[in-house]
Every structure is written in C-alpha cells, then in structure tokens.
Amino acid sequence: MPSTLTGLPLSGPETLTVFGAITLVLARWLPDRFRGPATLAAGALLVGSVTVLVVGGLRWQMGPVVAAAAVAAPFALVPMVRRRTGRTPWRARWWLALPGSAVCAALIASGPVSAWALPVPEFPEPSGRFPVGTRVLEFSTRADGDGRDDERRTLVTQLWYPAGRSAPDAPRMPYLGRTEAESRTVSAALAGYAGVPEFLLDGLPHARSHAVPGAPIAREGGRFPVVLFSPGLGGVRTQNTTWAEELASHGYVVAAVDHPYDSAAVVLADGRTLRTRVSATGDPEEDAARAEGWTRTRAADLRTVLTQLTRMDRGEHDGTLAGRLDTGRVTVTGHSIGGAAALQAARQDRRFDAVIDLDGFPHGPSGGHLGQPVLALTQEIGPGTDPDYLPRLTRVLELGAATNYRLTVPGTAHLTFTDAPLYLPPVPGVVGSLGRTEGHRITSAASLSFLDATLRGAPTDLPTALATHGEVTVHRPKPHAVPQGTR
C-alpha cells in the first residue's frame, strides 16, 4: 500500500479518490457552465485513482467513498449525456437532491474519519545515535514453568539492536512479522483475540518499522546491555516496537519473546502457526490460578531466552552478535502479565539486574524478596482499576532489597504503554489521552533514565528524572529485606 501523506491518514490515491468523489457529488450544485467539466474531471480522476487502489489493495475505509461515488455518478452523468444527444436533461428538484447529496457527503467523510481512527501506524523516528537492526530467532525448551509438561516449546524471539548504517532504500521490517503474510496472520489473530472484525486491523500488515532486518551490528559501542521483554496476555513480541527501537537506538539490545500458546499467534519458521490457548472462565479463583500458571511459564521462558543469549554471545550459535551482548547487565521487562512474569523471573534468577514493569499486576506469590531495583510504570488508578492492583504492587515494591520506583503517568490507560495508540481510535478509556505518540515518549524516556542508572551506572538523580513524567513514589529497602534467588 502506498505511504500515507504527511499529516494525513490517507495515501495519495486515496486522497484523490476522496476529492474526486466529493467533486462528483457537488457537481450537481454548480452553475451550468461548470457542471459538465467538473463531472468529467471527477469521473476521470476516480477511474484512475480507484484503479490504482484496487491493484494495490483497497482498504475498507475507502468502501463508503467508492459507494457514494457510484451512487452519485448516474445523477451527474445522465443529464450531461441527454444534453449531448439533444434530449432535455432531467434533474431532480433541489429538495429531493439535497438529502441524497448529504448522505453521499456523509459516506465520503466517513472514509477519512475511519482512516484517522484506525490508521496504518507510523512509528516515531528513534532519537538515539544508532540506527536499528533486527533479527528473529527461535529457541527451544522443554520447561513449562512448573515441571509438569515435557512438551517442547519454541520461543520465537525478536532482537532490536544498535546497527551500522544501511542504505537509505534498505527494506524495513514489517510490524507484525518477518513477512507481510506472517503479519496478516498475526493481525487476524489479534483481532480475533480482541473480539473485533479482522478488517478493523487490516492496516497493521502494511506497517513498516524503522529497523532493518539483518543489518550488521554497530562497530562502535562495545558490548551492549540486554533488555528482555514479555508482552501482555495474548499480546505478541512486536507490541512494543516503538519502545524497543528507541532503546536500541540508545545502545541497548532488546529481546522480545512470543510465548507459545499464549501470544495471539506465533508463526514458526517452518510455517506452523501456534494459536493462543489462554482464556478466562469468569470464576475469579480459577482465573487467578490460571494467571499464576501463565506467569510461571512466562518467567521460565524469559530465563531460557537469557541462557540462549548468553550462549549466543559466546558464539555457540548464530555468531552475528557474538561478543556484543553484555549478558552481565540485563533488565527483564514486560507489559501487563508480562510485567508480572518479569518480576517473578527476577525473583527466581539473580542474573537479572533490574526490572521494568509496564502496568503489570503482580500475579503469584508476592512475599518473596526482590533483590533487584524495580521501575513500575502505572496508569492512573481510578474507580475502574482492580482494587487489589495498587496494594499488591506496593507490597512487592516495599519488600524489595533495593530502592524501587513507581511512576504514575497522568492521562494513561493500560494500552498507553504499548504501540496501540498508533493504530487504535484515540478513546481515552482505551489508549489514554496523551495522543498518538506522547505516551511512547514518556515510556521510553522513563525506561532509559532507569536503565542508564541501573545498568550503566549513570550519575542520574532518578527520582527527579522520573518526576518530569508523572507522580513518583520511592520505596526504599527496609533493614529486614534480604535478596533471595540464585545467580
């Protein structure tokens, strides 16, 4: 699909289609000497632009526009043809034509409005000094988190990393997968998981990120700290691409995991697609038990991926990034239940040096001490928020053996901390009220401040840096807090 015009949700051919359709509808109201030329020009414009759209892929948002043009065309063209053949042109009286013109105009307007509400996402340019490369790898494990299942799990893991310069016309990575076909599969699965028609998310397979697949890693910069990421329940590894690219451009390697049978759809290199098996029952106790199980499994996945990245750094497989992954400086992160998995993985494994929890409810036991510093970003806590969320999160942060931080960001919702504001309607209750990109800027800036301080030892006044983005609560370790876990 052609790129959208700067500042508009429509591509060039789509813009011409809208212009041609509205001209065709308005031609009936023009003076006689302008009516014929306007009709012919609009018709020619529509034939050309619609042909281009059909060949390139007609988006559903253009359906009402084309339909309105098709309805208006006979009323605009028939009188002109009758005049040219010497017959008396017939025109509906204005009080009959006006409602029809108004309906057609409303249909045409619905095209740009729906394209604005559900656009093809355009990712903000990363602000760091490094270009961004990406690779998709597959790791295998038999662990499911509690030792009850010997089923082999394939963990599709995508890396975003600081890269060298690529040619300006180098292909960019599709948003939801390695190919557009994989992106369509994942997009349809996300729509199904959310319970909405597939066509509402059909812009996602057309989106391209800034990362160049297979780009060589940057020559300078030494060994780069690692950030592991677990998506939300039913989410996919790419759901925080904007955040991942921003971190990579500042010298971090981000590794995001697709959790098989949890992520909406995981497309393997051999072509198989693993669909989600997660579902709620409506029974609070049963759903809590299921969430704890999913969290255990995800925590085990994150530990496995860290082990595999350590082997990769040693050059044991896929030597492209060998010697450049600093697996001695690692932060584990996640959104929603992925944040809960990050907390649990850090509690179990001291190889993780810090935790970032993006609005994640801490499922599972909350009594174990965390020895690593934690940054928890949360939406504004309101009447609709789970009343157990804040007390449980506070307990986890207070029991920590390091200084922990909770940053409450005004104007956010649960999905603000993902890429969702780039492509969902700007409904505050769904994606927050910070617009398409401000939530990403805050999430990335707060994450970078925390990462620089904890992994790189930057001399940062962290509470002050975080306070520029919202309300900061600092939880300092109590004398009895003793870190547990294995290194």
Q: Residue 146 pLDDT > 50, yes or no?
A: no
Judge contact between 242 and 126, C-beta under 8 A. no
Q: What is the CATH classification number for the domain harbouring 217?
A: 3.40.50.1820
Tokens found for residue 182: 């994989």
Residue bearing tokens 């499994």:
297
Distances (CA, A) of 129 to 420, 438, 448: 26, 21, 14
Please tell me whether residues 41 and 163 are part of one structural domain.
no
Is 219 a domain residue? yes
Tokens found for residue 93: 């009286």
Please tell me whether residues 137 and 113 are part of one structural domain.
no
Q: Residue 381 pLDDT > 70, yes or no?
A: yes
**207 or 91, greater pLDDT:** 207
Is 2 a domain residue? no
Confidence of residue 119 (pLDDT cuts 50, 70, 90): very high
Please tell me whether residues 150 and 173 are part of one structural domain.
yes
Confidence of residue 269 (pLDDT cuts 50, 70, 90): very high
Q: Residue 257 pLDDT > 60, yes or no?
A: yes
Residue 151 confidence (pLDDT): 62
Beta bridge mates, 274: 266
The type of residue at 101 is: S
Distances (CA, A) of 369 to 59, 166, 231, 408: 51, 45, 24, 23
Please tell me whether residues 457 and 429 are part of one structural domain.
yes
Compute the average pLDDT of residues 294-320: 93
Is 487 a domain residue? no
Q: Domain boundary residue among 117, 143, 168?
A: 117
Is 403 a domain residue? yes
Strands 374-378 and 354-358 turn out to be: parallel
Is 175 a domain residue? yes
Please tell me whether residues 112 and 136 are part of one structural domain.
no
Instruction: Compute the C-alpha angle 65/67/70, nearest 5°.
Output: 110
The type of residue at 150 is: D
**6 or 118, greater pLDDT:** 118
Compute the average pLDDT of residues 411-418: 96
Tokens found for residue 274: 């693993």
% of the chain at pLDDT higher than 90: 73
Compute the average pLDDT of residues 6-19: 82
Distances (CA, A) of 473 to 383, 462, 467: 20, 11, 9
**What CA–CA distance (Å, rounded) separates 151 from 285?**
26
Please tell me whether residues 202 and 320 are part of one structural domain.
yes
Compute the average pLDDT of residues 204-228: 96
Compute the average pLDDT of residues 101-128: 94
Please tell me whether residues 141 and 113 are part of one structural domain.
no
Summarised one tens digit per residue, pLDDT across range 222-250 is: 999 999 999 999 999 999 999 999 999 99
Compute the average pLDDT of residues 51-57: 90
Q: Residue 389 pLDDT > 60, yes or no?
A: yes
Is 345 a domain residue? yes
Compute the average pLDDT of residues 433-439: 95
Q: Residue 432 pLDDT > 70, yes or no?
A: yes
Residue 42 confidence (pLDDT): 92
In our burial notation (b when 16+ CB lie closer than 10 A, e otherwise), range 389-424 reads beebbbebbebbbbebbbbbbebbbbbbbbbbbbbb
Instruction: Compute the C-alpha angle 226/457/486, nearest 5°.
Output: 55
**What is the secondary structure of 84-120 as a DSSP string?**
HTTSPP----HHHHHHHHHHHHHHHHHHHHHHHHSPP
Tokens found for residue 206: 């057309």
Q: Domain boundary residue among 82, 117, 152?
A: 117
Could you tell me which of 372, 439, 364, 434 has the C-alpha nearest to residue 399? Answer: 372
Please tell me whether residues 306 and 179 are part of one structural domain.
yes
Please tell me whether residues 277 and 392 are part of one structural domain.
yes
Q: Domain boundary residue among 84, 117, 150?
A: 117
**What CA–CA distance (Å, rounded) separates 308 from 351?**
13
DSSP alpha helices (H): ranges in 272-426? 284-313, 337-348, 389-398
Q: Residue 325 pLDDT > 50, yes or no?
A: yes
**Strands annotated E in 193-289:** 212-213, 224-230, 253-258, 265-267, 273-275
Please tell me whether residues 163 and 65 are part of one structural domain.
no
Q: Which of 69-83, 193-207, 381-395, 412-426 has the lowest mean pLDDT?
A: 69-83
Is 409 a domain residue? yes
Please tell me whether residues 95 and 241 are part of one structural domain.
no
Compute the average pLDDT of residues 318-329: 91
Judge contact between 450 and 405, C-beta under 8 A. yes
Domain coverage including residue 200: 132-475
DSSP 257: E
Q: Residue 1 pLDDT > 50, yes or no?
A: no
Please tell me whether residues 32 and 142 are part of one structural domain.
no
Residue 486 confidence (pLDDT): 42
Distances (CA, A) of 432 to 390, 405, 413, 417: 19, 22, 5, 10
Q: How many domains does the chain have?
A: 2
Residue 382 confidence (pLDDT): 78
Confidence of residue 74 (pLDDT cuts 50, 70, 90): confident
Confidence of residue 367 (pLDDT cuts 50, 70, 90): low
Distance of CA 349 to the CA centre of its chain: 28
Contact residues for 290 (Cβ-Cβ < 8 A; gap 6+): 278, 280, 281
Is 1 a domain residue? no
Residue 135 confidence (pLDDT): 96
Tokens found for residue 380: 């504004």
